[in-house]
Amino acid sequence: MATTESAFRARAFRARAKHSSTVWALRLLLLLIVVGAWLYGTGPGEISFLILPPLGEVFSAIGGLVTTQVFWTALGVTVFEMLVAFLLAAVVGVSLGFFLSRTPLRAQASEPLLSWGYMFPVVLLYPLFLLWVGVGIGSKIAYAATAAFFPIAYNTLRGLRSVDEKYLKVGVAFGASRLATDRHIKAGAARPMILSGLRIGVSVVMISVVLAELLGSNAGLGYELQRAASTLRLPDEYGIALLLLVVAVTLQRVLELALRPRRPGQKAPSRATEPAAQLDE
């Protein structure tokens, strides 16, 4: 029995290692294709400097940016706005989703409104946020939190409404309180939809903060990007855009790690122990 289990684990580990290597090889290939196309376009392709600056100049601009206090101050402002806006949207959105799901009447009345808010281009309201809060970080946080609130609240409500009624009846039969039902039954069953809403929300926050800084701000990476574009400093503009990409990927990865499922007293599940049928797909 032990020998069979060891053989299964070894086979699963080899299959996963092979799959991981293939994925990383394809990612590296795509990156090389992009870099090669960039080098060709700014070299033999003779693409205008006003459209695509040479890659070497962009990396030189990045090196110059990261050595300045202005960049780190702007980075701190942008990351702060993103974190606060996401926390506000997550707390309010998830809490409201639970509250509205308590009764069918609330859920049926509010779900279309949240869906419409999800589809509405909140950027049209940004001038109002500037008027109400000003050009400081407050307007960016309020705008980004509002934009991210709707996908988070909508997905939370949809997930909670999709919980099988029989699970709730079992909880009632065992004397579970409303809070215990929300925490241990509804939250667990609706977890995939809630996490999906949070992932969408963090992406919306990142886009909204940078967009708000571009449209009207006096600080942040979006503001620095707008300054570089207005003075035709193309290498700086591309450099800031690439650094924003790094920030976005980092924050997204941190969220993925923070939301990774855990069981009390148990380590994270090892992917090497997944059923062989999944590995052979």
The three-class DSSP label of residue 163 is: coil
Q: Is the pLDDT of residue 268 over 50?
A: no
How many CA atoms within 13 Å lie on the side-chain side of 57? 15
**Which residues, 6 or more positions from 207, have their beta carbon under 8 angstroms from its beta carbon?**
none
Q: What percent of the chain has pLDDT over 70?
A: 77
Q: What is the pLDDT of residue 269?
A: 44
Q: What is the pLDDT of residue 168?
A: 64
Per the CB < 8 A criterion, the answer to whether 47 and 37 are in contact is no
Written as six digits, the tokens of 43 are 């070299």
More confident residue, 148 or 216: 148
Give pLDDT tens digits for 233-261: 888 888 888 888 888 888 888 877 877 76
Q: What is the pLDDT of residue 112?
A: 86
Rounded Cα distance, 21 and 194, in Å: 31
Nearest alpha-carbon partner for 145 in 82, 187, 190, 63: 82
Q: What is the pLDDT of residue 146?
A: 92
Give pLDDT tens digits for 137-158: 888 999 999 999 999 999 988 8
Q: What is the pLDDT of residue 176?
A: 63
Q: Give ∠ CA 70-76-80 in degrees, rounded to 5.
A: 150
Q: What is the pLDDT of residue 174?
A: 60
Q: What percent of the chain has pLDDT over 90?
A: 13
- The rounded Cα 111 to chain-centroid distance in angstroms is 23
The dihedrals phi and psi of 143, each to the nearest 5 degrees, come to -65, -50
Per the CB < 8 A criterion, the answer to whether 276 and 13 are in contact is no
Q: Report the chain's mean pLDDT, rounded to a whole number.
A: 79
The CATH architecture to which 55-260 belongs is Orthogonal Bundle (1.10)
- In this prediction, residues 96-105 reach a mean pLDDT of 84
Q: Is the pLDDT of residue 173 over 60?
A: yes
Written as six digits, the tokens of 145 are 């939190």
- In this prediction, residues 60-79 reach a mean pLDDT of 89
Query: What are the residue ranges spanned by the domains of the chain?
Result: 7-47, 55-260
Q: Give ∠ CA 60-66-72 in degrees, rounded to 5.
A: 155
Written as six digits, the tokens of 79 are 């990351």
Give pLDDT tens digits for 115-128: 888 888 888 888 88
Among the ranges given (1-5, 21-25, 39-43, 219-223), the one the predictor scored with the smallest mean pLDDT: 1-5
Q: To 10 degrees, what angle do helices 55-65 and 234-258 make? A: 70
Rounded Cα distance, 151 and 64, in Å: 38
* The model's pTM: 0.76
- In this prediction, residues 26-34 reach a mean pLDDT of 87
The dihedrals phi and psi of 176, each to the nearest 5 degrees, come to -70, 135
The stretches of 101-136 forming alpha helices (DSSP H) are 104-119, 126-133
Rounded Cα distance, 253 and 248, in Å: 9
- In this prediction, residues 228-236 reach a mean pLDDT of 85
Written as six digits, the tokens of 143 are 């705008």
Other CB atoms within 10 A of residue 233 CB = 15
Q: What is the pLDDT of residue 3?
A: 63
Q: What is the pLDDT of residue 263?
A: 54
Query: Exposed e or buried b for every residue in 138-158, given b needs 16+ CB within 10 A?
Result: ebbbbbbbbbbbbbbbbbbbb
- In this prediction, residues 65-83 reach a mean pLDDT of 90
Q: Is the pLDDT of residue 72 over 50?
A: yes
**Which residues, 6 or more positions from 110, have their beta carbon under 8 angstroms from its beta carbon?**
100, 157
